[in-house]
Amino acid sequence: MNRKSFLKSSAFTLGALAFANQRLFARYMNEPTSKIRMLSDDVGVYIERGGPMLFYMGKDVNVVVDSQFPEQATALIAELKKRNPKPIDFLINTHHHIGNTSGNSVFRPLVKDIIAHENAKKNHLLNTKLMKVQNQQSFPTLTYKESWCQKFGKENICIYNYGRAHTNGDSIVHFEYADVVHLGDVVHNRMHPAIDRLGGGSIKGWMEVLTKVYQDFGKNTKFIFGHTANGFDCIGTRDDIRSFNNYLGQLFIYVENEIKRGKIKKDVVKSAGNIVPNSNPQWKGEGLDRTYAAVYDEIIYLQTLED
């Protein structure tokens, strides 16, 4: 298949991708709740529906990572005010998906800026336009290209974009003093991942990003994962990152081999069972059909570039 033919027959239209994002919305709403867990005296994580929200309570300021939905954003703000009445200086969005940004509108009157990668803002604008919810959103007011750092009391917070992974606008947020890293959805802990191709996601890029994360942070670093299967923790270690990277590698190999055998996309997607063959059996549950579809599209597209 040449590139022109592929582009004409590409499996996902913008409308289909918008529908896929609505499926993600439903997934967020069904995730378990467990509220606040403190990781140190001044750093904690709020876990409910949507991606976990990390926060820092400094002597003079508060900083929050991700905003979930308005209800959860309101609840976290109330909790922070009880614990530390100082203002919230910044809200950081790890990426643009609604489970991480729908509470922005609650934070916006309180914070100096909402910070995100420049691609995350572009994706946020496009995604909410497709879903027809733009008027319900507050968008980033400060963006960066490669990295952003600022000191807050004893804590130094740095944000990095390592390249295409879950999306092309993923932020890796490091609270350096506490040595806690919020990975957004760059790790789906024991869950089949959503590869947001409309948002620039790439399984090949994702594996490269995970390798860099594994290399750049230490064995004592605590990592916050955006999605976690029942029975597993959203707070993990480098070993969890390596396991997820190995899973993605096996997933890529499986789909690539199916394509070499002459399988068309419909048949590959239909073959989706509860686990990826030859991978860690802990990765199971719903969503593998969607993951196979995205990987298939990426491999076919890469092949057209080589023609």
Q: Note the pLDDT of residue 97.
A: 95
Q: Note the pLDDT of residue 26.
A: 42
- Mean pLDDT, to the nearest integer, of 44-71? 93
Indicate if the pLDDT at residue 50 is higher than 90. Answer: no
Higher confidence at residue 91 or residue 4?
A: 91
CA dihedral 240, 298, 284, 22 (to 10 degrees): 110
Indicate if the pLDDT at residue 42 is higher than 60. Answer: yes
Residue-wise pLDDT for 158-197, tens only, equals 999 999 999 999 999 999 999 999 999 999 999 999 999 9
Q: How confident is residue 256, by pLDDT bands cut at 50, 70 and 90?
A: very high
The three-state (H, E, C) secondary structure of the chain, written as one string: CCHHHHHHHCCCCHHHHHHHHHHHHHHHHCCCCCEEEECCCCEEEEECCCCCEEEEECCCCEEEECCCCHHHHHHHHHHHHHHCCCCEEEEECCCCCHHHHCCHHHHCCCCCEEEEEHHHHHHHHHHHHHCCCHHHCCCCCEEECCEEEEEECCEEEEEECCCCCCCCCCCEEEECCCCEEECHHHCEECCCCCCCCCCCCCHHHHHHHHHHHHHHCCCCCEEECCEECCCCCCEECHHHHHHHHHHHHHHHHHHHHHHHCCCCHHHHHHCCCCCCCCCCCCCCCCCHHHHHHHHHHHHHHHHHHHC
Q: Which phi and psi angles does 36 have, rounded to 5°?
A: -95, 135
Indicate if the pLDDT at residue 28 is higher than 90. Answer: no
- Mean pLDDT, to the nearest integer, of 116-123? 98
Q: Note the pLDDT of residue 307.
A: 67
Indicate if the pLDDT at residue 119 is higher than 60. Answer: yes
Q: How confident is residue 51, by pLDDT bands cut at 50, 70 and 90?
A: confident
Indicate if the pLDDT at residue 305 is higher than 50. Answer: yes
Q: Note the pLDDT of residue 48.
A: 83
Q: Note the pLDDT of residue 274.
A: 78
Q: How confident is residue 35, by pLDDT bands cut at 50, 70 and 90?
A: confident
Indicate if the pLDDT at residue 288 is higher than 60. Answer: yes
Structurally, how many domains does the chain consist of? 1
Least confident window among 12-21, 54-63, 126-135, 273-282: 12-21
Q: Note the pLDDT of residue 20.
A: 47
Domain that holds residue 237: 3-306
Q: Note the pLDDT of residue 126.
A: 94
- Mean pLDDT, to the nearest integer, of 131-135? 90
Q: What percent of the chain has pLDDT over 90?
A: 79
Residue-wise pLDDT for 264-279, tens only, equals 999 999 988 878 988 9
Mean pLDDT of the chain: 89
CA dihedral 120, 124, 126, 129 (to 10 degrees): 180
Indicate if the pLDDT at residue 25 is higher than 70. Answer: no
CATH number (domain holding residue 228): 3.60.15.10
Indicate if the pLDDT at residue 4 is higher than 50. Answer: no
Identity of residue 81: K
Residue-wise pLDDT for 213-245, tens only, equals 999 999 999 999 999 999 999 999 999 999 999
Indicate if the pLDDT at residue 2 is higher than 90. Answer: no
Q: Note the pLDDT of residue 10.
A: 41
